[in-house]
Amino acid sequence: MPEITGNQVLPGDEAVKEGKIYKIVSVEKFTSEVQMFSGYRVTLDGGKHDQLAIPLWERQTLGRKSKLGAFAYPLGMDTDKWVGKNIRIVFWIPRNRQIEVVQ
């Protein structure tokens, strides 16, 4: 589902391309309005009008292959340090997500 940021609607995680390199532009902590779920909205830039926003939902346990775990394990738990990092999407399949940090 697309994420709405300001006046611009960005595609969501369904637009993620495996094998592609993205730069992390921003990480925002947020809480959903209806069910009060909390998570992080990560905005990725793939270049040439290819920007997307991925919600990473918090859970009781952090699985390595969950959305949040796929980011937290290679990047660390301090989301402030994620911004500016380049990542490659290795796998982006439900319950089997993996990224790697690239230079």
> Can you give the pLDDT of all 103 residues of the chain as single tens digits?
555 555 555 566 778 899 999 999 999 999 988 888 999 999 999 998 889 999 999 988 999 999 999 999 999 999 999 999 999 999 999 999 999 999 8
Residue 96 exposure: Cα atoms within 13 Å on the Cβ side: 4
pLDDT for the residue numbered 2: 55
Fold for domain 3-102? OB fold (Dihydrolipoamide Acetyltransferase, E2P) (2.40.50)
3-class secondary structure, 17: coil
pLDDT for the residue numbered 3: 58
pTM for the model stands at 0.84
Q: Give the CA distances from residue 101 to residues 3, 5, 20, in Å, rounded to whole numbers and listed in that order.
A: 24, 25, 12
Tell me which amino acid residue 89 is: I
CA separation for the pair 76, 54 (Å, rounded): 17
pLDDT for the residue numbered 49: 84
Q: What is the CA radius of gyration of the chain?
A: 13
pLDDT for the residue numbered 103: 85
